[in-house]
Amino acid sequence: MADVAIAPRRAKTEIREATSWDQLKHNRNWLGFWFMVPAMGFLILFLAYPLGLGIWLSFTDTKIGRVGQFIGYENYEWLWDDAIFWLSVFNTLLYTFVASAIKFGIGLYLALLLNENMPFKAMLRAAVLIPFIVPTVLSALAFWWIFDSQFSIISWSLKHLGIINQNINFLGDTTWARICVIFANIWRGVPFVAITLLAGLQTVSPSLYEAATLDGASRWQMFRHITYPLLTPIIAVVMTFSVLFTFTDFQLIWAMTRGGPVNATHLMATLSYQRAIIAGQLGEGAAIASAMIPFLLAAIMVSWFGLQRRKWQQGENND
C-alpha cells in the first residue's frame, strides 16, 4: 500500500497517447478476452470441436486405425433397419421416463419430510446425500452384489420370509434386469432431487403456511396451492438435469449389466460405446451418439424456459 501513497509525487509525467499496448492492457473488451482465454481454450478444443467432429464422424465409415470416407446417410440408414438400435432407443426412453418420474416423486416426498422439524435434522440430511457422493461405478458394484443370482441378500430375505421359493435371477432375466438398473438409478438420483428441492422449500416463507392454516386449509391444499407453485421453477431446472443425465447414463449400466441380458438394458450410450470402441466402428458409434442430440435439445429447451420463468417471477434481483 505504501507504493500507492508515494506514487503521486513523481506522477508529473506528461500525458501520453494511449498506445495499442495500453489498449490491450486496459480496454475492457481486450481484458475480457484475455481473461476468457483459458476457459474458452478448453471448451473449444475439447468440447465444441469434438461435438462437431462427432457429427462429421457419423457421416463417415471411420474405423479404429483407419481414416474414414464421407458416406452420407449410410450409417443412419443402417441404424434405421437395426432392431438392436431401436431396442436401445426404447430402453433409453423407458429408463429415462420411469426413473425420472419416480425420482421426482420420491425426491419431492423426501424433501418435504426433511423440511419438517425433528431431532438430528442436519445429520439426516447429510446422510441422505451420501449415495450421490460415492462414485456411481462403485455403488453399482454394490448393487451388482446385492442383485447376485445366487447370493443375493434380497432373494435370501424373501425366501426366509416365505414369499418366494427360488432365488430371483435379478440380472439374468430381461424384465428383472430392467427393474434393477432403474432401481439403482433412482437410488442414486433421489438424493440430488431431494436436497435441491429442499433448498427450494427453505426459501418458502413460513408465514404463508400460517396464514393458510388460519384460513382452514388442509395439508394437501397447502401443498397444492403454496408449496408446489413456489417450487415450480426449481423443479423445472432440477428435472431437466435429471432427465439429461439419466438419458445419457453410461456407467451404471456398464458396471451392472454391460447391456445384457439379450440387450435388454442397452442404452444408446452403452450401445455406442460397444459399437465404436469395442467393435471399432467409430462412424456407426458416432451416429448412435449423434442420434441422442435431438433429445438433449428438447431437454435444454425445457431448461431454458424454466429459467426464463424463474426470472420473470423473481424480478430483476435474480441476477
**Looking at 71-79, 83-91, 96-104, 141-149, which segment touches another protein (CB under 8 A)?**
141-149
**Looking at 16-24, 74-82, 151-159, 169-177, which segment touches another protein (CB under 8 A)?**
151-159
What region, left, alpha or beta, does residue 258 occupy, with left being phi > 0 and alpha being psi -120 to 50 degrees? left
Query: Considering the complex, what minimum distance in angstroms separates the CB of residue 215 from another protein?
Result: 6
Query: Considering the complex, what minimum distance in angstroms separates the CB of residue 281 from another protein?
Result: 10
Residue 98 near another protein by CB under 8 A: no
Closest CA to 128 of 201, 183, 195, 184: 195
CB 155 within 8 A of CB 163: no
Residue 53 near another protein by CB under 8 A: yes
Residue 218 near another protein by CB under 8 A: yes
Q: Which of 24, 134, 164, 279 binds another protein (CB under 8 A)?
A: 134
Tell me the C-alpha to C-alpha distance, in Å, between residue 241 and each of 96, 229, 245, 299, 301.
12, 20, 6, 8, 12
| Cα–Cα dist 277/114, whole Å | 44
Query: Considering the complex, what minimum distance in angstroms separates the CB of residue 131 from another protein?
Result: 5
**Cis status, amide bond into 261, omega within 30 of 0:** yes
SS3 call for 63: strand
Strand pairing partners for 66? 63
Query: Considering the complex, what minimum distance in angstroms separates the CB of residue 249 from another protein?
Result: 8
| Cα–Cα dist 23/17, whole Å | 10
Closest CA to 257 of 187, 178, 188, 154: 178
Applying the rule CB under 8 A, the residues between 234 and 293 that interact with another protein are 234, 237-238, 241, 244-245, 248-251, 254-255, 269, 272-273, 276-277, 282, 285-286, 289-290, 292-293
Residue 156 near another protein by CB under 8 A: yes
Closest CA to 262 of 180, 171, 183, 182: 171
Q: Which of 81, 116, 175, 220 binds another protein (CB under 8 A)?
A: 116
Residue 24 near another protein by CB under 8 A: no
Query: Considering the complex, what minimum distance in angstroms separates the CB of residue 317 from another protein?
Result: 11
Query: Considering the complex, what minimum distance in angstroms separates the CB of residue 282 from another protein?
Result: 6
Q: Which of 79, 89, 99, 114 binds another protein (CB under 8 A)?
A: 114
Which set of grid coordinates corresponds to residue 10?
A: 513523481
- In terms of C-beta density within 10 A (0-12 exposed, 13-18 middle, 19 or more buried), how is residue 138 classed? exposed
Residue 18 near another protein by CB under 8 A: no
Residue 227 near another protein by CB under 8 A: no
Which set of grid coordinates corresponds to residue 271?
A: 450401445
Applying the rule CB under 8 A, the residues between 162 and 201 that interact with another protein are 187, 190-192, 195-196, 199
Q: Which of 2, 15, 118, 163 binds another protein (CB under 8 A)?
A: 118
Specify the residue, 155 or 263, whose C-beta has the smaller distance to another protein: 155
